[in-house]
C-alpha cells in the first residue's frame, strides 16, 4: 500500500474509533441526561406509544386508554369516575407529566421497569405490542365513594386505614378534578382552569397527604397517650389536678375552655369527652416538651410518610417555651397534621398501641396478571402499651356514646372517636376547620380507622364543629367498610 493510501486508511480508522467512542459515551455516560432532557420528545413519544397498565381497585380498573389522532402520541390516559379517584391515581398527561400513583409507579405502568424485562423479551420474540404492568391498590371502592360523596361540595379530605395492616381503604380530597381532561396534548384550557392562579380552590391539590392543618382537639389523643405512657395519669377515672382556667408557666394569658364547660379537676375520661383545654394543656406541660415530642414522633409526626406517594411531614415543634407546650398539646400554636397523620393516630390506638406503616399498593402485576411484587404489612412503631391503648379506646368510645361524637354511632359496633374544631387565621378570624377521627371495632378487631377534615368557609361559624360536619362523613365511611 502506498503512502497516501495508508494515510487515508489511518485517518478513516481514527474516524471510526472516534465514532465508536462517541457512541459509547452517549449510550453509557449521557444516557440518563438525554433521557431526562425536557427537549427530548422521543421519551414522551415512547411513553405513550402503547397503552399504560391499569390502576386497579376491588378487581376493576379505574383507568383506561384511548387512541389519539393528529398527534405523534398514539395513546392517552382515560379515567373512570376521575374526580373521585384523582387523589389516588393522580394524572398521566402527554404534556404535564405524572403525579401520585401515576407518577410513583410510572415506569411499571409504561412497562419500562426492570422487573418487566422478561415480559418485554417475550413480547419482542412473539411480536406482541409491549404492555405496561398493573398497580393493584388496597382501596375499598365503597369506602371511597362514601368519603367522596360525604364531602360533597365542601373543601376537605378523608383518609381511612385498616389498623391491623396499615392498608389505605379510602383517600378522598375535594374539590377534585377529572384527570381525563388534561391527559391529551391539546388540553391547555383545561389545565389553566385548574391552575391555582386561576382557581383558588386548587383542585389538583391532594389535601389528604399534602396539606397540614391545625388538628385542634383531635391532638388531645396524642397528649392523653403521652400522659398515660409517662405515668402522669394512671387512672382515667380519677380526678386530675386541673385548675379552670389554667395559666401556664411563663405567661399571664389564661387557657380557657370553650363554651363555658366546667373542667376543674376533671377525670381524663371526662376531659376527653368534653374536650377540656385546661386539663390537656396542663397535662402536656407535666409530661414535658421532650416526652411530648417523643410521643408525637412515635405516632409519625415530624417525618414524611411514603405510601408510596409522599405525604408531607406533620409538625410538633421540638423547641418551645412551657406556655407553647400547653397550646401545642391541645392542637394549637404550630402543631399541624395531615389527615393521613390523624388517621394513623386513631389507627394505632385501635390496634392496641401498634402503628402499622400506611400503604396503598397491595401488589404490582405483570401484563399477564402474575404477581411481580407483593406488599407485606410492616410495623412502624409502638406509641402505646396494650393496656394504655385500651384505656384510650374506652375514653374515645365514651366520646361517641355520651360526648361530642354522638353523630358517629353505629348500632351494634364499638365506635371510638374524637372531635376537633381547629381555629386558624390572624386572631382566629377565619372559619375553623372541623375534624373527626375515629375507629370502628368488631369482635375480630378494628377493621377501619378514619380521619376527616372539613374546610367550610360558607358555613355559619357557630355551626362548624367536628361532631356536626365531620362525624357523619366518618360514620358513612366506617359503615361502608363494615358492609352496613
**Could you give the residue numbers annotated as active site?**
217
Residue carrying the nine cell digits 361540595: 153
Q: Which residue has the cell 387512541?
A: 67
Q: Return contacts of 238-242, CB within 8 angstroms, 24+ apart.
A: 238/267, 238/268, 239/265, 239/266, 239/267, 240/265, 240/266, 240/267, 240/268, 240/271, 240/279, 240/282, 240/283, 241/265, 241/282, 242/266, 242/271, 242/276, 242/278, 242/279, 242/282, 242/283
Residue whose C-alpha is closest to residue 430's, from 281, 260, 213 = 213
Q: Return all residues near 484 (Cβ < 8 A) that are at least 6 apart.
A: 410, 413, 478
Alpha-carbon distance of 78 to 408, in angstroms, equals: 36
Reduce the DSSP state of residue 160 to 3 states and report it: strand
Per-residue H/E/C for 161-224: ECCCCCEEEEEEEECCCCHHHHCCCCCHHHHHHHCCCCCCCCCCCCCCCCCCECCHHHHHHHHH
Angle at 31 between CA 28 and CA 34, to 5 degrees: 155
Say if residues 144 and 86 touch (Cβ distance below 8 Å).
Answer: no
C-alpha to C-alpha distances, 240 to 231, 246, 269, 271, 287, nearest whole angstrom: 13, 13, 10, 9, 14
Q: What whole-number distance in Å separates Cα of residue 365 and Cα of residue 252?
A: 61
DSSP-derived 3-state class of residue 49? coil
Cis upstream peptide for 308 (omega within 30°): yes
Written as one string, the DSSP assignment of 19-48 is HHHHHHHHHHTSHHHHHT-TT-HHHHHHHT
**Who contacts 24 (Cβ-Cβ below 8 Å, separation ≥6)?**
none
Sheet holding 361-365, edge to edge: 60-61, 55-57, 134-137, 361-365, 371-374
The closest of 444, 469, 441 to 455, measured between CA atoms, is: 469
Amino acid at each position: 500500500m502506498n503512502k497516501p493510501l495508508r494515510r487515508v486508511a489511518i485517518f478513516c480508522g481514527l474516524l471510526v474509533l472516534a465514532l465508536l467512542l462517541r457512541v459509547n459515551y452517549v449510550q453509557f455516560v449521557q444516557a440518563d441526561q438525554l433521557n431526562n432532557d425536557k427537549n427530548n420528545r422521543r421519551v414522551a413519544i415512547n411513553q405513550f406509544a402503547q397503552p399504560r397498565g391499569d390502576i386497579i381497585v376491588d378487581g376493576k380498573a379505574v383507568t383506561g386508554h384511548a387512541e389519539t389522532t393528529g398527534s405523534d402520541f398514539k395513546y392517552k390516559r382515560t379515567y373512570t369516575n376521575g374526580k373521585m379517584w384523582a387523589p389516588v391515581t393522580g394524572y398521566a398527561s402527554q404534556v404535564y407529566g405524572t403525579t401520585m400513583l401515576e407518577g410513583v409507579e410510572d415506569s411499571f405502568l409504561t412497562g419500562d421497569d426492570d422487573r418487566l424485562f422478561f415480559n418485554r423479551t417475550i413480547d419482542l420474540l412473539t411480536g406482541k405490542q409491549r404492555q405496561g404492568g398493573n398497580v393493584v391498590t388496597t382501596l375499598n371502592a365503597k369506602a371511597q365513594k362514601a368519603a367522596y360523596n360525604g364531602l360533597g361540595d365542601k373543601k376537605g379530605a378523608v383518609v381511612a386505614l385498616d389498623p391491623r395492616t396499615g392498608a389505605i381503604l379510602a383517600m378522598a380530597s375535594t374539590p377534585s378534578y377529572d384527570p381525563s381532561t388534561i391527559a391529551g396534548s391539546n388540553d391547555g384550557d383545561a389545565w389553566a382552569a385548574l391552575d391555582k392562579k386561576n382557581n383558588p380552590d386548587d383542585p389538583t391539590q391532594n389535601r389528604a397527604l399534602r396539606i397540614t392543618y391545625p388538628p385542634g382537639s383531635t391532638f388531645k389523643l396524642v397528649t392523653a397517650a403521652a400522659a398515660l405512657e409517662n405515668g402522669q395519669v394512671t387512672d382515667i377515672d380519677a380526678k386530675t389536678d386541673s385548675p379552670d382556667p389554667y395559666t401556664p408557666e411563663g405567661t399571664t394569658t389564661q387557657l380557657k375552655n370553650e363554651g363555658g364547660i366546667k373542667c376543674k379537676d376533671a377525670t381524663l375520661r371526662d376531659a376527653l369527652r368534653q374536650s377540656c383545654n385546661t386539663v390537656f394543656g396542663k397535662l402536656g406541660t407535666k409530661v414535658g416538651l421532650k416526652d411530648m415530642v417523643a410521643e408525637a414522633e412515635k405516632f409519625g409526626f415530624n417525618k414524611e410518610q411514603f405510601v408510596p406517594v409522599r405525604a408531607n411531614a406533620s409538625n410538633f415543634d421540638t423547641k418551645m417555651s412551657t406556655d407553647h407546650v400547653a397550646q401545642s398539646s391541645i392542637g394549637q400554636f404550630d402543631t399541624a397534621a395531615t389527615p393521613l397523620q390523624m388517621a394513623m393516630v386513631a389507627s394505632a390506638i385501635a390496634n392496641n398501641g401498634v402503628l402499622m406503616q400506611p400503604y396503598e399498593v397491595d401488589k404490582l402485576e405483570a401484563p399477564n396478571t402474575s404477581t411481580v411484587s407483593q406488599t407485606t404489612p410492616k410495623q412502624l412503631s409502638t406509641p402505646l402499651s396494650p393496656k394504655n391503648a385500651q384505656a384510650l379506646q374506652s375514653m374515645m368510645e365514651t366520646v361517641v356514646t355520651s360526648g361530642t361524637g354522638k353523630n358517629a354511632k353505629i348500632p351494634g359496633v364499638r365506635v371510638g372517636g374524637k372531635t376537633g374544631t381547629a381555629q386558624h387565621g390572624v386572631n382566629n378570624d377565619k372559619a375553623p376547620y372541623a375534624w373527626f377521627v375515629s375507629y370502628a371495632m368488631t369482635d375480630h378487631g378494628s377493621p377501619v380507622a378514619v380521619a376527616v377534615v372539613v374546610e367550610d368557609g360558607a358555613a355559619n361559624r357557630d355551626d362548624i364543629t367536628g361532631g356536626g360536619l365531620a362525624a357523619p362523613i366518618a360514620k358513612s365511611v366506617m359503615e361502608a367498610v363494615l358492609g352496613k
